[in-house]
């Protein structure tokens, strides 16, 4: 058995829609079981409402605050909180605070982590992601469809 080790601050990182996503575990490194990402979500940032058709998703908030919306219900999630979102659940999240939020996002089974590499801009260490460019929406929406995610706008 090979040990998959990714140190603090390491792993391929991409800027997507104003957030930074660092891949810590891939479908290849987990035998397809899951993918694990570390997300940095600046104030006011986060994806639009969407549905994963192929994966379950779980969030463990490391620092900061996220407002996670599931259907019509909003939940304020703080550092140390955990939330599980089964596939086919309409959800989104946003950072309502003045500081960046950091979360671990577990996606099972693995594979969706490839969306970030394909759809994002390679992140530069120590820099914050540029704000979301609305001109990029159609490209990202088409790519999310390829990965079995439906945007719910």
pLDDT in tens, 80-104: 999 999 999 999 999 999 999 999 9
| CA 147 – CA 145 distance, rounded (Å) | 5
Q: Supply the pTM of this predicted model.
A: 0.93
At residue 15, the 3 state secondary structure works out as strand
In CATH terms, the fold of domain 13-151 is Jelly Rolls (2.60.120)
DSSP 108: E
Confidence of residue 23 (pLDDT cuts 50, 70, 90): very high
The Cα–Cα gap between 58 and 33 comes to: 14
Share of residues in the chain with pLDDT > 90 (%): 79
Q: Which has more confidence, 114 or 134?
A: 114
Tokens 């994966």 -> residue: 55
**Average pLDDT over every residue of 46-71:** 95
Domain ranges in the chain are 13-151
């Amino acid at each position: 058995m090979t040990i998959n080790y990714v140190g603090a601050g390491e792993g391929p990182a991409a800027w997507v829609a104003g957030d930074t996503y660092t891949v810590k575990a891939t479908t290849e490194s987990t035998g397809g079981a899951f993918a694990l990402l570390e997300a940095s979500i600046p104030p006011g940032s986060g994806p639009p409402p969407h549905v994963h058709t192929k994966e379950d998703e779980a969030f463990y908030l490391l620092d900061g605050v996220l407002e996670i919306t599931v259907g019509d219900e909003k939940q304020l999630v703080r550092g140390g909180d955990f939330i599980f979102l089964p596939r086919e659940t309409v959800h989104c999240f946003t950072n309502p605070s003045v500081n960046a939020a950091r979360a671990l996002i577990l996606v099972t089974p693995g594979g969706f982590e490839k969306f970030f590499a394909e759809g994002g801009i390679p992140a530069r260490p120590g820099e914050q992601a540029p704000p979301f460019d609305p001109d990029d929406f159609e490209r990202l929406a088409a790519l999310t469809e390829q990965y079995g995610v439906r945007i719910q706008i």
